[in-house]
């Protein structure tokens, strides 16, 4: 319900830069995910948007209002954290109702709003319980219910699924995505889990060391990573990256020779390709190497090879079998390859 604009926002402490020159507009109703490794500045960015952390430099706008100096309570946001932050002595009903009291919503409306929120997060049957008598997933749903009980302008969610087991994470992920779609509230969601980012986001912001690396739809980021950091952070497994030399459109590394690449680059280069884009072949391929390990994934078999310092994976049919130490061949045609600058890691088009 709001467009959020961060204009060259930085957060610096006396001897550390937490967020460096973050510049981005989050569209009204967008689901934006901040993704990156621990310490990359995701939470700090979110806390600045919430007003819990002062901005050192730059401006934060909600629509046409500069909010830098606004108290968190005056920004009209709802937050969900990893540690659910429920009141232990209140029932589920009272926990969900709490923001309505704080916001002085007329008491006559409370019951309907609480029941609607409880229904949306499937807690209608547990309204009399206290948090201690709930599972982790149920507590998480109370926190969500409390966030959606009133319609804020912005949802801020910081790793809300980290404490849930793998199965529950998948179902709660779908539930949050569905709720956000129905409520149409601009949402900023922090995670270090690339699968969460890829499955939930309209757009993903990949961060590293306080700096935005790439902003794009999940497909953009997966198909055209802007640099080797993004390439190696997104995907399971991450993109294979091999150091080698390119000349006359031919890339060479130990056991690898790929023709038909760009003529405009020469010398040292990093070549990337995704495990599922390559395939194992019985005849000659662009890559031949000894099998380093075989992993049975159920729907596929992953074969990996050591090429120089890199471990390179190729996904193959679930029935595929070979032994560690066997020499095998893989088709890695130029069309599936990405090139990155050897020094800077930046994508070369």
For residue 270, the number of C-alpha atoms closer than 13 Å in the C-beta half-sphere is 20
Q: Which stretch binds ligand ATP (CB under 6 A): 36-44, 178-186, 217-225, 237-245?
A: 36-44
Binding flag, residue 160, ligand ATP (CB under 6 A): no
Binding flag, residue 236, ligand ATP (CB under 6 A): no
Binding flag, residue 267, ligand ATP (CB under 6 A): no
Q: How far is the CB of 258 from ligand ATP (least distance, A)?
A: 36
The answer to whether residues 142 and 123 touch, using CB atoms and an 8 Å cutoff, is: yes
Q: Which residue has the tokens 């599936």?
A: 336
Site for ligand ATP (CB under 6 A): which residue of 4, 10, 36, 117?
Answer: 36
Question: What does the per-residue mask of binding to ligand ATP show for 163-202, with x meaning CB under 6 A?
Answer: -----------------------------x----------
Q: How far is the CB of 208 from ligand ATP (least distance, A)?
A: 9
Binding flag, residue 40, ligand ATP (CB under 6 A): yes
56 SS3 class: coil
Angle 107-120/136-148 helices, nearest 10 degrees?
140
287 SS3 class: strand
Q: Which stretch binds ligand ATP (CB under 6 A): 40-48, 57-65, 237-245, 264-272?
A: 40-48
Q: Which residue has the tokens 């621990």?
A: 38
Site for ligand ATP (CB under 6 A): which residue of 5, 31, 41, 204?
Answer: 41
Instruction: Report cis status (omega within 30 of 0) of the bond before 237.
Output: yes
Q: Which stretch binds ligand ATP (CB under 6 A): 41-49, 230-238, 270-278, 299-307?
A: 41-49
**Residues sharing a CB contact under 8 Å with residue 327, sequence separation 6 or more, in sequence order:** 288, 289, 290, 291
For ligand ATP, which is the closer residue by CB, 12 or 184? 12
Site for ligand ATP (CB under 6 A): which residue of 2, 4, 18, 226?
Answer: 18
For residue 270, list its beta bridge partners: 243, 340
**Residues sharing a CB contact under 8 Å with residue 168, sequence separation 6 or more, in sequence order:** 136, 137
- Give, as ranges, the residues between 90 and 129 that touch ligand ATP (CB under 6 A): none
Q: Which stretch binds ligand ATP (CB under 6 A): 35-43, 149-157, 212-220, 309-317?
A: 35-43
Q: How far apart are CA 124 and CA 92, in angstroms?
A: 9
* Token code pair at residue 153: 């302008």
What is the distance of C-alpha 275 from the center of its chain? Answer: 20
**Contacts with ligand ATP, residue ranges (CB under 6 A):** 13, 16, 18, 36, 38-44, 192
């Amino acid at each position: 319900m709001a467009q959020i604009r961060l204009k060259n926002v930085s957060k610096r402490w006396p001897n550390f830069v937490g967020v460096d020159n973050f510049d981005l507009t989050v569209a009204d109703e967008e689901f934006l995910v901040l993704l990156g490794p621990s310490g990359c500045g995701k939470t700090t960015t979110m806390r600045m948007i919430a007003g819990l952390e002062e901005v050192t430099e730059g401006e934060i706008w909600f629509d046409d209002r500069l909010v830098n100096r606004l108290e968190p309570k005056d920004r009209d946001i709802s937050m969900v954290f990893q540690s659910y932050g429920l009141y232990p002595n209140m029932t589920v009903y009272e926990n969900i109702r709490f923001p309505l009291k704080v916001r002085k919503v007329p008491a006559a409306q409370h019951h309907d709003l609480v029941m609607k929120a409880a229904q949306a997060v499937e807690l209608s049957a547990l309204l009399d319980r206290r948090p201690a008598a709930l599972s982790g997933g149920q507590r998480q749903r109370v926190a969500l219910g409390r966030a959606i009980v009133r319609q804020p302008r912005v949802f801020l969610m910081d790793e809300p699924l980290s404490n849930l087991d793998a199965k529950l994470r998948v179902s709660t992920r779908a539930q949050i995505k569905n709720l956000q779609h129905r409520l149409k509230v601009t949402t900023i969601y922090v995670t270090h889990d690339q699968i969460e980012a890829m499955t939930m986001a309209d757009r993903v912001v990949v961060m590293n060391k306080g700096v935005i690396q790439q902003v794009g739809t999940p497909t953009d980021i997966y198909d055209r990573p802007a640099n080797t950091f993004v390439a190696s952070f997104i995907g399971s497994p991450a993109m294979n990256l091999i150091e080698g030399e390119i000349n006359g459109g031919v890339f060479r590394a130990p056991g690898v020779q790929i023709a038909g690449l760009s003529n405009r680059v020469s010398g040292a280069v990093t070549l990337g390709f995704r495990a599922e884009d390559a395939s194992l072949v019985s005849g000659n391929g662009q890559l031949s190497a000894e099998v380093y390990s075989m992993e049975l994934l159920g729907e596929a078999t992953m074969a990996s090879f050591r090429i120089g310092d890199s471990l390179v994976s190729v996904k193959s049919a679930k029935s595929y079998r070979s032994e560690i130490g066997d020499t095998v061949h893989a088709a890695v045609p130029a069309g599936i390859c990405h090139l990155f600058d050897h020094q800077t890691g930046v994508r070369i088009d």
